[in-house]
């Protein structure tokens, strides 16, 4: 019988700070103080927290975080979202997910510049890594993403961890951080 997945504990590398979705206003000053070293930097970081927390949350969203590599500028170079996702019952959910996403996605208003998928394993269980670089057809804005779908052993759900950046020169560092985050992620289970 699968265990009921209710969340996860996320450990972040240096220069990242997180907060619960919908609670950005309560955490913006703490996040800004941790990541910024000047008043101007802290103001930019506080605005980034507000921006991340605006709008309709992604279904299953359980965690948000930002990455500010330079405390003097306050420029947010990466955003992390963590979601709980349903899994269709059956054998090898990671293999089925990998099969389902192997083709380049078609996204309205978005041009896919790069798409790659690979099976992996993290401490929590089998995983699929999807690397995606896209361009908004209207604005030309290019975004790089690393999307991890983690299937904890014997779980009734999956954890989706996505990091994204528009600072393309920082993509390798962001992907490396995302691997550390994925490896350190700990599933949380419902009480039996």
pLDDT in tens, 138-166: 999 999 999 999 999 989 999 999 999 99
For residue 134, the model assigns a pLDDT of 97
Interatomic CA distance for residues 166 and 56, integer angstroms: 21
pLDDT in tens, 44-61: 999 999 999 987 788 899
For residue 109, the model assigns a pLDDT of 94
pLDDT in tens, 30-44: 999 999 999 999 999
- Indicate the length of the chain as a whole number: 192
For residue 177, the model assigns a pLDDT of 98
Q: What are phi and psi of 33, to 5 degrees?
A: -65, -40
For residue 110, the model assigns a pLDDT of 96
C-beta of residue 185 within 8 angstroms of C-beta of residue 8: yes
Candidate from 99-108, 118-127, 130-139 with smallest mean pLDDT: 99-108
Q: Pairing mode, if any, of strands 78-86 and 157-165?
A: antiparallel
For residue 191, the model assigns a pLDDT of 86
In the block, which residue shows the tokens 């961890």?
161
For residue 37, the model assigns a pLDDT of 98
Interatomic CA distance for residues 7 and 21, integer angstroms: 13
pLDDT of 1 above 90: no
Share above pLDDT 90 across residues of the chain, in percent, rounded to a whole number:
90
The model's pTM: 0.94
In the chain, where the domains are located: 5-189
Q: What does the pLDDT average to over 53-73?
A: 92
For residue 104, the model assigns a pLDDT of 87
For residue 57, the model assigns a pLDDT of 80
- SS3 letters for 89-132? CCCCHHHHHHHHHCCCCCECCEEEEEEEEEEEEECCEEEEEEEE
Greatest Cα-to-Cα distance within the chain, rounded to the nearest angstrom: 53
Q: Which of 3.90.1170.50, 1.10.510.10, 2.60.40.60, 3.40.1000.10 is the CATH number of 5-189?
A: 3.40.1000.10
Interatomic CA distance for residues 108 and 134, integer angstroms: 11
For residue 56, the model assigns a pLDDT of 73
């Amino acid at each position: 019988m699968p265990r009921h997945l209710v969340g996860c504990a996320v450990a972040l590398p240096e220069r990242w700070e997180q907060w619960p979705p919908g609670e950005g206003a309560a955490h913006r000053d703490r996040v800004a103080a941790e990541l910024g070293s000047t008043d101007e930097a802290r103001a930019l970081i506080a605005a980034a927290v507000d921006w991340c927390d605006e709008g309709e949350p992604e279904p299953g969203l359980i965690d948000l975080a930002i990455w500010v590599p330079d405390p003097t500028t306050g420029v947010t170079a990466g955003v992390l979202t963590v979601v709980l996702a349903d899994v269709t019952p059956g054998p090898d959910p990671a293999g089925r997910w990998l099969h389902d996403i192997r083709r380049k996605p078609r996204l309205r208003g978005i041009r896919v510049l790069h798409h790659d998928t690979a099976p992996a394993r993290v401490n929590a269980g089998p995983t699929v890594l999807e690397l995606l670089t896209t361009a908004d057809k209207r604005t030309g804005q290019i975004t790089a993403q690393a999307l991890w779908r983690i299937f904890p052993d014997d779980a009734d759900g999956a954890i989706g961890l996505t990091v994204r950046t528009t600072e393309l020169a920082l993509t390798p560092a962001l992907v490396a951080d995302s691997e550390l985050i994925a490896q350190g992620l700990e599933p949380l289970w419902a009480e039996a």
